[in-house]
Structure 1
Amino acid sequence: MEWRNIYRGFLMGISDLIPGVSGGTIAFLLGIYDRLLTSISGLFSKEWKKHIGFLFPLAVGMGLTLVLFSRVIKFLLANYFAPTQFFFIGLIIGILPFMAKQAKVKTTFKFHHYIVLLIVGVLLAMTAFISPADSTVITSLTPTSTLVLFLSGWAASTAMLLPGISGSFVLLLLGMYSTAISALSDFNIPIMIVIGLGVILGFVISSKIIHFLLNQHATLTFAIIIGLIVGSVFVIYPGIPESGTPFLMSSVALIMGLLVSNLFSPPEAESVKK
C-alpha cells in the first residue's frame, strides 16, 4: 500500500468540495494524473492488486476529507468566499507552467492546438454565466431520485478526472450540489451510497477513455486539458474584492495558492506516451 497517497487524497478531496476546482487538476499538480488513470482503468485487470495498493490510500484520504471537511468548506465559502476562491485560483495558475512543460508546448503545439485551447477555455469560462438548476435538497430516495443521483454522481466523477472541470460544479449545474453536501454533512448513508456508486462507475469508464486519448492523441488532449484549466480560473473568479481587509486576505490567499502549487509540483513531469 502506498500510504503517502492518503495526503494526496486529502488534497484532492478538498478541491472536489469546491465548485469550480477539479481534483484532476490537483492530481496533475501532484504528478500522479497518468498513474491515477492507469490504476482506475486497470482496477478490473489481472494486475488489480497493484492498482488497489495505489488507489485504496488515495480513496481513504479523499473519503475522510469529504466527510470531515464538508462543513469546514461550507463555513469557508459562507464566511470567506473570496479568499477561498483566490487560494484555488493561485493553485490553478501555478500549475500552468508545469502543464506547459509536460505537454512540451514549445515543440509540439501547432496553431490549431492553440485554437482548440482557446475555444475550450472560452466555452468553460462561459459556464460561469449559466444559472444552476433548482437545488432542492433530496433527503430520501425514490426510484426517480435514485436514478437522478446515480447519474449525477457519474457525471461528477467524469468531471473530477478532467483537470479544469469540477465535479462539484457539475453537481451545482445539475442542482445536486446541495444534496451531496448535505448528505456528507448529515451523514445520510443511502444518499451517499447512490451518488458514490455513480461516481465509481463513472471513474472506471471515463478513466479508460481519457487514458486512451492521452496515449493516442496526447498533444490535442493536452491542448484541451490546458484550455479547461485556464477556463476554470474564470469560473471560480469571485470578482475584485473590496478594499481593505477583504482585498488583503484575498491577495495573501492568492500568493499562498501559488506557493503551494510550486511546492507540490514535481520536478519532472510524469511520462505520457506521445
Structure 2
Amino acid sequence: MFQWKNILKGMTMGVSDLIPGVSGGTIALVLGIYQSLIAAINGLFSKEWKKHVMFLMPLGIGIVIALLTISHLVEWLLVEFPQPTFFFFLGLIIGIIPTLLKDIDYKKNFSPIHYVLLAVGAMIVGATFFVKENELATVMSQLSFTEYALLFFAGWIASSAMILPGVSGSFVFLLFGVYPTVVNALSTFNLPVILTVGSGIAIGLVITSRFISFLFNKYKTSTYALMIGFIIGSIVVIYPGVAGDSFLLFISVLAFGIGGMSAYGLSYFEVKKTAVKLNP
C-alpha cells in the first residue's frame, strides 16, 4: 500500500543527506523506518517485490523532491546559519540515542563486548573529524570518462555511508572532492551527473543493505551497539563549535532543543503506533 506520509519521511532523509556529517541512516532511525528500509531494499528481488516497491516509492519520491527543490535552501542555511543548522541536527541525533538503547534493552542485553563495540563504533566515526576533505574542490565542467567513473564510484561508496547510521554520504563526497559537483548538479538539474551518481548509489544501497540485514538477523545486539556507537561518534563530527554573539547562541540552543524534541516526539509516536498494532 502506498503510504503518502512516507513522502515527508523521504524528504527529511533527502535533506539530511545534503548536510555534511549528517547521515540519512540516522534520520531513518529517528523516523522509525530503518529496519523496514533495509528489508524493503533487500526484498526488491524477492517474490514480494511489489510490496517493497510500494514502501520505497514514496520514500524515493520524497528524497528526490528534497534533493531537487530544497538543495538551494540547505545551501543557504549552511552559508548563512551554519551553527543553528548543525545544532538542530545534533539535537535530532542525540535525541534518538535513548530510544535506541531502550529498543535493544541495553541494561539486560549488553555485555562488556557490546560496550566495546559501541566505543569502537564511536571512535571510527569520530576519527573522521580529523580527516580533511578536499577544500579546493570545484564544480567539474566538461567531464571526461575518468571523472564520470569517479562520480559513479563516489556515489557507490557514499551510498554505503548513507545507509549506515552516523556516517555521512555527503562527507564521502567531500573526501572525493565531488561534493560541489554533485550539489551543483542537483541545483541545475544536470541529468548526466545525477544519473551517474544515482546509479552508483543504487548499486551500493542494494549491496550494503544485504550485509546490514545479515548482521541484524545474526548479531542484532552487537549490530545495535555498533550503530549506536556510530551515532555517538557522529556528534563529534557534526558539532560546529560555539561562536558569535549571545543571540546566535540562543538560536543555536533553541534549534538544538527543537531537534531533540522532534526526535523524542517521532520516537514516541512510532512506539505508540507499534503498541496499537500489537494490541488493537
TM-score range, shorter chain: over 0.9
Q: Distance in 1 between matches of 2:98 and 2:208?
A: 26
1:197 to 196, 199, 216: 199
The one-letter amino acid of 1:243's match is D
Deviation string, structure 1 residues 215-272 (Cα, Å, up to 9, x no partner): 10111111110010000011010112333111111111101101111121122698xx
Aligned to 2:229: 227
Q: Distance in 2 between matches of 1:208 and 1:219?
A: 17
How far did 1:203 drift? 0.8
Mapping 1:233-272, distance limit 5 Å = 233-265=235-267, 266-267=270-271
How far did 1:159 drift? 0.7
Aligned to 2:99: 98
Aligned to 1:51: 52
2:215 corresponds to 1:213: yes
Q: Distance in 2 between matches of 1:124 and 1:148?
A: 23
The one-letter amino acid of 1:214's match is F
Aligned to 1:27: 28
Aligned to 1:176: 178
- Residues 229 and 269 of structure 1: CA distance in aligned 2, closer, same or farther (over 3 Å): farther
Q: Name stretches of at least 5 consecutive residues in structure 1 with no aligned partner.
A: none
Task: Determine helix, strand or coil for the equivalent of 1:185.
Answer: helix
Mapping 1:145-156, distance limit 5 Å = 145-156=147-158
The one-letter amino acid of 2:137's match is S
TM-score, scaled relative to structure 1: 0.95
**Is the 8 Å Cα contact of residues 39 and 54 (structure 1) preserved in structure 2?**
yes
Instruction: Could you list the structure 1 runs, at least 4 aligned residues long, displaced by more than 2 angstroms after superposition.
Output: none
How far did 1:139 drift? 3.1
What is the aligned-residue RMSD (CA, Å)?
Answer: 1.5
Q: Distance in 2 between matches of 1:104 and 1:142?
A: 52
Aligned to 2:278: none
Q: Distance in 2 between matches of 1:251 and 1:237?
A: 12
How far did 1:46 drift? 1.4
**Is the 8 Å Cα contact of residues 98 and 269 (structure 1) preserved in structure 2?**
no
TM-score, scaled relative to structure 2: 0.93
The one-letter amino acid of 2:110's match is F
Amino-acid identity (%) = 45
Q: Distance in 2 between matches of 1:268 and 1:203?
A: 30
2:190 corresponds to 1:188: yes
Q: Name stretches of at least 5 consecutive residues in structure 2 with no aligned partner.
A: 275-280
Alignment length, in residue pairs?
A: 271
Q: Distance in 1 between matches of 2:199 and 2:272?
A: 35
